Amino acid sequence: MLALTRKKDEAIIIDGNIEIKILDVQGDKVKLGISAPKEINIYREEVYAKIKSSNKDASKKNQTTLDILKSLIK
């Protein structure tokens, strides 16, 4: 992990096309602005964890459905 120190209105650039800018700092909260191409998905960590969990659950259900279909074909 790369750890950087930035002040308000300073930014970092990732891979030449993603900019993360410090918009505001209040106490222990930092407001970030992210500029990236539309094809790059950006999620808060807790939202991304729920998406991954939901996708994992959905794949298990699909496997059960496939198993049922296989048993019907035999």
**30-58 residue pLDDT tens:** 999 999 999 999 999 999 999 999 888 77
pLDDT band at 69 (very low <50, low <70, confident <90, very high): confident
The contacts found for 44-49 with CB under 8 angstroms, 24 or more apart, are none
State residue 34's pLDDT score: 98
Q: Residues of the chain with pLDDT > 90: what percent?
A: 72
| Residue among 3, 36, 7 at smallest CA distance from 22 | 7
Give the span between the Cα atoms of 61 and 28, in whole angstroms: 41
C-alpha distances (whole Å) from 32 to each of 16, 61, 63, 65, 73 are 18, 37, 40, 43, 54
With 90 as the cut, is the pLDDT of residue 64 above it? no
Would you say 22 and 7 are in contact if contact means Cβ atoms under 8 Å apart?
A: yes
